[in-house]
Chains A and B, each alone.
Chain A
Amino acid sequence: MQKVTVIGILVFAVAIHSGAQPSRRSNPIPVRDSLIKQDSVILNSVREMATENLPIISVDASEINDKNFQNISTPVTSTTDVFLSQASFNFNPVRFRLRGYDTDNSITNMNGITIENLENGFAFTSLLSGFNDVLRNREVAIGLQNNSFSFGGIAVSSQIDSRPQKFRKQSTVSYAFADRGYVHKISFTHTSGIDKKGWSFVYSGSRRWADEGYVPGTYLNAWSGLIGVDKKIGLKQDLSFVAFGTIAENGRQGFAVAEMDSLAGSHYYNPFWGYQNGKKRNANIVKINQPYLILTHEYRIRNSSSFITALAYSFGDHGSTFLDWYNAPDPRPDYYRYLPSYQTDPYQKFLVQQTMMHNENDRQINWQRLYDVNRGSMETIQDANGITGNSVTGKRSHYVLAENIAHTTKFDINSTFNTVAGKHLQLSSGVSYQFQKSRYYKKLDDLLGGDFFVDLNQFAERTFPSSSTANQNDLDRPNRILSQGDQYGWDYNIISSKAKAWLQTAFTFKRIDLFFAAEGSDTKFIREGNVKNGLFPGNSMGPSPAFHFIGYGTKAGITYKINGRNYVYINAAIISKSPSSQNVFVSAKTRNEAQSNLVNENIRTAEAGYILHAPKVKLRLTGYFTRFDHQLDVINYYDDDLLNYVNYALSNISKLHYGTELGIDAKLIGGLSLKAAASIARYYYDSRPTAVVTVDNTASVVAKDILYLKNYFLGGMPQQAYSLGFQYQTANQFYLNISGNLFKDRWMDINPVRHTYRAVQNTVYQTAQWNDILQQTALQDQFTVDVSGGYTLRISKKRNRHKTFLNLNGSINNLFNNQNIESGASEQWRFDFSTLNTGKFPPKFYYYNGLNFMFSSTIRF
């Protein structure tokens, strides 16, 4: 025991736990075994470790279309579903999402609480990385399957049970070495099991770091931890408390145009870093620190009824840094005007090309120059801080490092009731209330050699040169002198609340299972400005009008059990989903203005499938059809032609998703088995949305466009993905898996603005120029091969009746080093209306890593 404590103090490790119970689709009562069996399918766990290790690529969202661009959430989608378990790992290089749905269609619950950002519906999945061992206990429902803890999203709904009582006594120490998102990871988990008095504890922690990841200039520094305490109260009640969080800092990789990649000679060119004092310094760093505290109470009324109530409180910051500047040349090395393609003279083009090709420093941020400029600009600010006659003299920074901060406080309460009534009926219901207050503001992180910065809006100065108020970000404190750590620019709160109630009845008969479910929700949110913006003095400070939406949904399904192994099922749902605040406020950074035409999103979806669950073969074949209507979206980006921030408020977006997915896991002879997965689908736009374009500086409507988007494909994931692999496994000791993956039918994310009358009115129908503007670029098909293997060694010490194991695992992905896989490819938002030349703002890409590996060793005892 002492040794265990010593080990626990010295080393953190993650225990590779078994325990992921297959979700028994036909049994709505959640599976909560108190004894967790050892997982014989080690591959899954290894893959989990590998997938949560994939690089966290969050790029400057203003540059690209894909709003689903967030930190990868693979631990959450880990499941034993025969299709998804393969797809979520094998298809990850091309950012596969189940059925092409946006991420806000998935639900992630932990210990009875939904972990999600009320403002956009995304799960805070980055919070759940780093301690996957204790997250193994889950109920997962795929597609329209019913579950016991919620009405469900239409993609993946999962509930993680990390309450300490669920784990048996075990400790795990692990070390992994990789070249992906992290280079080193050490982790430690200890679960105590339930002692005689009914107490159980768990703690798990890890440290992941990489001084430089696969892509130059990226790095990771992350600490994660979870602690939990659980007390059984009598026979019927449990009270658990779990606290977890991740503190991480991650230097990011940026999208780049093909021209920069070819100048750099690599698809992994990263414009976000530069040398400072000989060390790589990344200007775009994501920092997260958002602990969650969940208190869960379970009351087992009878053996067949349970009442779970959970309370959660979360607080913390999410920040991302970026270079900010005032009246100075753009510091970004890949700014389009610095590139050879912008120069008109062929010799100049050549000179620039040669310079950039042969000097790495010319392709990266020149930090020395930023410091030199700041140190050399001695300036006097008149009427500083709004005091007439007060002049401040000093080195005025023209370049600073700023941070975009979201400070979030969240409070949730959720009650779920499950009971069995009679032989056939299972009743589930729940009510929940969520409250979230996020404060968004810009913070001055680093003055880069200057003495002060001034809180002014240079874009407003360009539009209103003679006004002394339009350029103030804060009219109550004009010309504010800023020091390191000060807030400046925007400062506003989004306060949201959502009350939900749902009810589900599930009937189990001999041959037929059927269920009905319904849900209603009441969502409210407001924006509250904390500063009075000089451009919108009447509309920026103080609360906006309250937005109030009612949402609802109904779902039903029927499963016909042909026999104990074969099932066919059909499910359908109609859902009316409230808009999220991120798609309602046109320019939340500056003012309270909202989109007009605020309506709920309509989802109509149906799926039908066949499941085979035999000892040797597991198979699932599902066809689905889903229609989204009346979606809203708001995009803000900096338009180089207008020299201004521009807001696009889109409404009436419709999307159609239909296709089939197939997963097969078939045991062949000996220890050999065949694994295959396929997703063949079509995802495309099915309406002509309306776009209202406003210039941020004036809120004037620049254009009202109809977007001719019908039948254009949704970009960002393959419409066809195939995986075929073979696995060889000896009993609990050794396994080897090799699989090949093929991605086809991949399309670049389009810029909807090109599909307007405004964009093509000056070109001739169906000429080469017309086609160039409108055609959606198809990406090349890609092929990868992955290998993984592992070995388990039993080190029996005959203590605690449990054996001590040593696991060695490794995986090599992208065996053939295919460096051409575009993980993200999208047309830029900027489009040159005057020359109609799509080459002026070419598409931006980022690429999946070439050959990458991970090796780990774990001791479980």
Chain B
Amino acid sequence: MKKGLIFLLTGFIIVGSVLMEFGSCKKKFDEPPAFIAANISANNSIKALKALHSMGGLEQVTADMVISGIVVGDDRSGNLYKQICIQDSTGGITVNLGGSNLYVDYPVGRQVFIKCKGLYLSDYNRLIQIGLIDNSIPSSPSLSAIPTALFDSFLVKGSFGNAIIPKSVSVNQLNDSLQSMLIQIKDSVQFVATDTALSYADVSASKSSVNRTLSDCSGNKIVVYTSGYANFAGVKTPTGKGLITAIYFVYKTAPELILRDTGDARLIYPRCAANKITIASLRGLYSGSDVLLGPLSINGIVISNSSNLATGNMIVQDGNSGIDLFFGSTTSTAKFNPGDSVLVDLTGGTLTNYKGMLEINLPATALPAKAISTGRSITPQITTIAQLLNNISSLENTLIQINNATASSTSGTTYSGNKTLSDATGSTTLYTSPTASFSGSTLPISCENWVGYANIYTTVQFQIRNTNDAFASTGCSVNKNFTAVYAFSGVTTTSGTTDPTKLPSAEGVNFGSFIAVGLGSNSSASGRFSFASWPLGATNGSNSFTGTLSATQYYEITITPAAGYQLDLKSLSFIFQRSATGVRQWAVRSSIDNFANNLTASISPANSAILANTNNTFQIVDRASITAETGCNIVFGSNHTNLTNPVKIRFYGFNAESTSGTFSLNAVSITGSTH
């Protein structure tokens, strides 16, 4: 037992100590020494190396050239692929190296020596590169990347963390000698308006590379080229201006800048101040075709209501000129109201003609963030519709006022859509967009003064901003012209002394029926008002008249202005007819002077059968005529204007040849207006 225990104890101790010893004995590998730079130095410059190359060729370096450079561009962001760019004081060159993640071995700032003997020089669309030849297709040898296994045969790694000062050049000084070097554009640059706030490259599945254009404040441009595989491809280009650092590449004859990452483009300062221009001068720039605008800006007052325009539009006026600005169909301009003063940068915008109207197409980013001031007022220029139509090009999109005009609608009673606006001089389209805030309000039908702006959308149209833009007018005399015709179609030989025909109607005036007073009881014909028993005084075949009109024998109508209207009578015309022994003279008198005088008579159109005497009586010349004669015309004097009381018109026939001779009226047409 004792033996056993001793054995067991021994065993435990031995086994246990062995296990413990092994557990603590973890072999730790000695760390290798820190990097020791190799003993090598350059015997040539990069410029001398590149001089061996002629564009389009593929040359092998046969001399024992050793160059050295600092890495200025690596593939960390993915914008470069299988390439690094190195430069020394004389120039830069792009080195084609196989594999990915080269930056861990050759990061920016590392010094690299290249033993060029055996390598090949070529160019990719004039960008000089060094690598190895790929003869796999003997008919078309090309430059390929140096395979990983051969890196150490040609490249020798140097120290880390060497500083490079980018060379400061202006856009105009960019030239081939700067290829593959790190440069900084001397002047501040900004992305052109159409290239701001867009992704650096294409992030869709095709991952294509994209050019974005930079411009300095003088308008000199340079392209930034970014690969779709860069890890910053989806980042939006900055909207400001500032200094840009990049590697200079060329593509054929076009220079391009390659960013290492977004830190190379610190464009955080306010953009170039665009030159101010008046809208009048701006409009003057258009001469028939689209104009791409340089760095220009305008300061104008908003006169449009965004809800009455298609989305994206805004109309501004400066002085006596106005213009429409279009910021894209998805950009809302609702934050600006009439009276807001805004400053708009037009750089990169396009001055164009859209359906007859001048407008400027701008990117959404050009919409100002807010107004400089609000509540500015513009005095509208008073104009008539006729003047507007004549001067639309100078009045376009400025604030105007049309007085004493009336709107009328052929469909609906609200503002929405196309309506007609008429004043005394003419009429034009009043257009309200269905999206306008007031489009559902009732369209006023009375004569008002209207404030708004007009432009051309194929044809001229006038728009208001709100219902307050149409206000009551004192001088509103929008006359409603009328022409009332009595056709006597209901007259028969038994219809009595009152014409039963349906009366003509016109706005603002009521017409009474013809009555025959002191004459027979029925018309002698149907379809016209024809009665006999007129005063005698003429004999057949003779032109001497002995009779006069009778105050008790006449035709009469009463014309009454409607409540709230005033009546102007202008003229009256009718067709005269007599029987063989009918009247030889007739006249028309009005109740305004209590039937004292004959109203002014004339024959128009000329009719040789009848004439008008100087005493304003009509006379039949052709004694034999019994046919209907047109041309009897009465002109009312100025005492027949602004009538508010009923007026009676009487037709007297006299100097009939017999008591059975008739005098008939037909197609009595009265023209006038009410207001």
A contact set with B: CB distance below 8 Å = 1, 5, 8-9, 12, 190, 192, 195-197, 199-201, 203, 205, 207, 223, 225, 227, 229, 245, 247, 276-277, 279, 281, 327-329, 337-340, 342-348, 351-352, 355-356, 362, 367-369, 371-373, 375-377, 398, 446, 449, 465-466
- Whether B3 and A192, one on each chain, are in contact in the complex, defined by CB atoms closer than 8 angstroms, is yes
B322 interface residue per 8 A CB criterion = no
List the B side residues contacting A345 at CB < 8 Å: 132-136, 144
> In the complex the two chains form, what is the Cα distance from A190 to B12 in whole Å?
12
> In the complex the two chains form, what is the Cα distance from A789 to B427 in whole Å?
127
List the B side residues contacting A337 at CB < 8 Å: 98-99, 147-148
> In the complex the two chains form, what is the Cα distance from A328 to B100 in whole Å?
7
- Whether A344 and B134, one on each chain, are in contact in the complex, defined by CB atoms closer than 8 angstroms, is yes
Q: Which of A5, A196, A205 touches B6 (beta carbons < 8 Å)?
A: A5
Q: Which of B452-466 contact A (CB under 8 A)?
A: none
Q: Which of A197, A351, A371, A376 touches B110 (beta carbons < 8 Å)?
A: A376
- Whether B32 and A201, one on each chain, are in contact in the complex, defined by CB atoms closer than 8 angstroms, is no
List the A side residues contacting B105 at CB < 8 Å: 329, 369, 372-373
- Whether A276 and B19, one on each chain, are in contact in the complex, defined by CB atoms closer than 8 angstroms, is no
In the complex, what residue of chain A is closest to B144 when comparing beta carbons?
A345
Interface class of chain A by DSSP: mixed
- Whether A371 and B32, one on each chain, are in contact in the complex, defined by CB atoms closer than 8 angstroms, is yes
List the A side residues contacting B33 at CB < 8 Å: 277
Quote the shortest CB–CB distance from B114 to chain A (angstroms). 16
B11 interface residue per 8 A CB criterion = yes
List the B side residues contacting A351 at CB < 8 Å: 150, 153
> In the complex the two chains form, what is the Cα distance from A32 to B486 in whole Å?
144
Quote the shortest CB–CB distance from B155 to chain A (angstroms). 12
Q: Give the interface centre of A197, A223, A367, A376 by most chain B CB atoms within 10 Å.
A: A376
> In the complex the two chains form, what is the Cα distance from A196 to B2 in whole Å?
11
Quote the shortest CB–CB distance from A49 to chain B (angstroms). 20
> In the complex the two chains form, what is the Cα distance from A347 to B136 in whole Å?
9
Q: Which of B1-24 contact A (CB under 8 A)?
A: 1, 3-4, 6-8, 10-12, 14-15, 18-19, 22-23
Q: Which of B3, B7, B150, B231 touches A352 (beta carbons < 8 Å)?
A: B150
In the complex, what residue of chain A is closest to B102 when comparing beta carbons?
A329
Quote the shortest CB–CB distance from B286 to chain A (angstroms). 44
Quote the shortest CB–CB distance from A387 to chain B (angstroms). 23
Quote the shortest CB–CB distance from B37 to chain A (angstroms). 11
> In the complex the two chains form, what is the Cα distance from A347 to B138 in whole Å?
12
B393 interface residue per 8 A CB criterion = no
- Whether B149 and A355, one on each chain, are in contact in the complex, defined by CB atoms closer than 8 angstroms, is yes
- Whether A8 and B10, one on each chain, are in contact in the complex, defined by CB atoms closer than 8 angstroms, is yes
B504 interface residue per 8 A CB criterion = no
List the A side residues contacting B104 at CB < 8 Å: 327-329, 373, 376-377, 398
B622-657 vs A, Cβ < 8 Å mask (1 yes, 0 no): 000000000000000000000000000000000000
- Whether A227 and B1, one on each chain, are in contact in the complex, defined by CB atoms closer than 8 angstroms, is no
In the complex, what residue of chain A is closest to B76 when comparing beta carbons?
A327
Quote the shortest CB–CB distance from A684 to chain B (angstroms). 40
- Whether A207 and B6, one on each chain, are in contact in the complex, defined by CB atoms closer than 8 angstroms, is no
List the B side residues contacting A373 at CB < 8 Å: 104-105
B107 interface residue per 8 A CB criterion = yes
Q: Give the interface centre of B7, B134, B148 by most chain A CB atoms within 10 Å.
A: B7
B234 interface residue per 8 A CB criterion = yes
A selection of 11 A-B contacts at a CB cut-off of 8 Å is: A192-B4, A192-B7, A203-B15, A205-B14, A205-B15, A223-B18, A227-B8, A344-B134, A345-B133, A345-B144, A376-B110
List the B side residues contacting A279 at CB < 8 Å: 29-30
Quote the shortest CB–CB distance from A347 to chain B (angstroms). 6
Quote the shortest CB–CB distance from B25 to chain A (angstroms). 9
Q: Which of A329, A338, A376 touches B160 (beta carbons < 8 Å)?
A: A376
Quote the shortest CB–CB distance from B483 to chain A (angstroms). 76
| Residues A348 and B6 in contact in the complex (CB < 8 Å), given A227-B11, A277-B30, A329-B105 | no
- Whether A225 and B19, one on each chain, are in contact in the complex, defined by CB atoms closer than 8 angstroms, is yes
Quote the shortest CB–CB distance from B528 to chain A (angstroms). 92
Q: Which of B14, B99, B110, B147 touches A9 (beta carbons < 8 Å)?
A: B14
- Whether B14 and A466, one on each chain, are in contact in the complex, defined by CB atoms closer than 8 angstroms, is no
Q: Which of B22, B32, B134, B231 touches A348 (beta carbons < 8 Å)?
A: B134
> In the complex the two chains form, what is the Cα distance from A352 to B133 in whole Å?
13
> In the complex the two chains form, what is the Cα distance from A368 to B550 in whole Å?
139
Quote the shortest CB–CB distance from A44 to chain B (angstroms). 27
List the A side residues contacting B10 at CB < 8 Å: 5, 8-9, 203
| Residues A348 and B15 in contact in the complex (CB < 8 Å), given A190-B7, A277-B30, A329-B100 | no
| Residues A201 and B134 in contact in the complex (CB < 8 Å), given A329-B104, A373-B104 | no
B143-167 vs A, Cβ < 8 Å mask (1 yes, 0 no): 0100111101100010010000000
- Whether A362 and B149, one on each chain, are in contact in the complex, defined by CB atoms closer than 8 angstroms, is yes
List the B side residues contacting A398 at CB < 8 Å: 101, 104
> In the complex the two chains form, what is the Cα distance from A8 to B15 in whole Å?
11
In the complex, what residue of chain B is closest to A8 when comparing beta carbons?
B10
The 10 A-B residue pairs with the shortest CB-CB distance in the complex, in nearest-first order: A203-B11, A344-B136, A345-B134, A225-B15, A352-B149, A328-B104, A373-B104, A338-B149, A328-B101, A201-B8
In the complex, what residue of chain A is closest to B35 when comparing beta carbons?
A372
- Whether A367 and B149, one on each chain, are in contact in the complex, defined by CB atoms closer than 8 angstroms, is no
- Whether A199 and B32, one on each chain, are in contact in the complex, defined by CB atoms closer than 8 angstroms, is no
> In the complex the two chains form, what is the Cα distance from A342 to B4 in whole Å?
67
- Whether A207 and B18, one on each chain, are in contact in the complex, defined by CB atoms closer than 8 angstroms, is yes
B517-532 vs A, Cβ < 8 Å mask (1 yes, 0 no): 0000000000000000
- Whether A225 and B18, one on each chain, are in contact in the complex, defined by CB atoms closer than 8 angstroms, is yes
- Whether A449 and B1, one on each chain, are in contact in the complex, defined by CB atoms closer than 8 angstroms, is no
In the complex, what residue of chain B is closest to A449 when comparing beta carbons?
B31
> In the complex the two chains form, what is the Cα distance from A102 to B379 in whole Å?
99
B34 interface residue per 8 A CB criterion = yes
- Whether B4 and A347, one on each chain, are in contact in the complex, defined by CB atoms closer than 8 angstroms, is no
| Residues A338 and B135 in contact in the complex (CB < 8 Å), given A276-B32, A277-B30 | no
List the A side residues contacting B148 at CB < 8 Å: 329, 337-338
> In the complex the two chains form, what is the Cα distance from A344 to B145 in whole Å?
11
List the B side residues contacting A371 at CB < 8 Å: 31-32
B90-112 vs A, Cβ < 8 Å mask (1 yes, 0 no): 00000000111110110100100
> In the complex the two chains form, what is the Cα distance from A337 to B4 in whole Å?
64
> In the complex the two chains form, what is the Cα distance from A203 to B30 in whole Å?
37
- Whether B32 and A277, one on each chain, are in contact in the complex, defined by CB atoms closer than 8 angstroms, is yes
- Whether A368 and B32, one on each chain, are in contact in the complex, defined by CB atoms closer than 8 angstroms, is yes
> In the complex the two chains form, what is the Cα distance from A224 to B84 in whole Å?
54
> In the complex the two chains form, what is the Cα distance from A343 to B132 in whole Å?
11
- Whether A327 and B101, one on each chain, are in contact in the complex, defined by CB atoms closer than 8 angstroms, is yes
| Residues A377 and B32 in contact in the complex (CB < 8 Å), given A8-B14, A203-B11, A347-B133 | no
> In the complex the two chains form, what is the Cα distance from A328 to B99 in whole Å?
10
List the A side residues contacting B31 at CB < 8 Å: 371, 449
List the A side residues contacting B133 at CB < 8 Å: 345, 347-348
- Whether B1 and A199, one on each chain, are in contact in the complex, defined by CB atoms closer than 8 angstroms, is yes
Quote the shortest CB–CB distance from B233 to chain A (angstroms). 9
In the complex, what residue of chain B is closest to A275 when comparing beta carbons?
B32
Q: Which of B7, B23, B134, B234 touches A247 (beta carbons < 8 Å)?
A: B23
9 other A-B residue contacts (CB within 8 Å) besides A223-B22, A277-B29, A446-B29: A190-B11, A192-B4, A279-B29, A327-B101, A328-B101, A337-B98, A337-B148, A375-B35, A466-B203
List the A side residues contacting B4 at CB < 8 Å: 192, 195, 199-201
> In the complex the two chains form, what is the Cα distance from A446 to B148 in whole Å?
25
| Residues A276 and B147 in contact in the complex (CB < 8 Å), given A328-B101, A346-B136 | no
> In the complex the two chains form, what is the Cα distance from A563 to B207 in whole Å?
83
Quote the shortest CB–CB distance from A483 to chain B (angstroms). 16
Quote the shortest CB–CB distance from B33 to chain A (angstroms). 8
- Whether A201 and B101, one on each chain, are in contact in the complex, defined by CB atoms closer than 8 angstroms, is no
List the A side residues contacting B135 at CB < 8 Å: 345-347
List the B side residues contacting A329 at CB < 8 Å: 99-102, 104-105, 148
Q: Which of A12, A197, A368, A446 touches B1 (beta carbons < 8 Å)?
A: A197
List the B side residues contacting A281 at CB < 8 Å: 29
> In the complex the two chains form, what is the Cα distance from A5 to B234 in whole Å?
77
Quote the shortest CB–CB distance from B30 to chain A (angstroms). 5
| Residues A203 and B134 in contact in the complex (CB < 8 Å), given A277-B32, A351-B150, A356-B149 | no
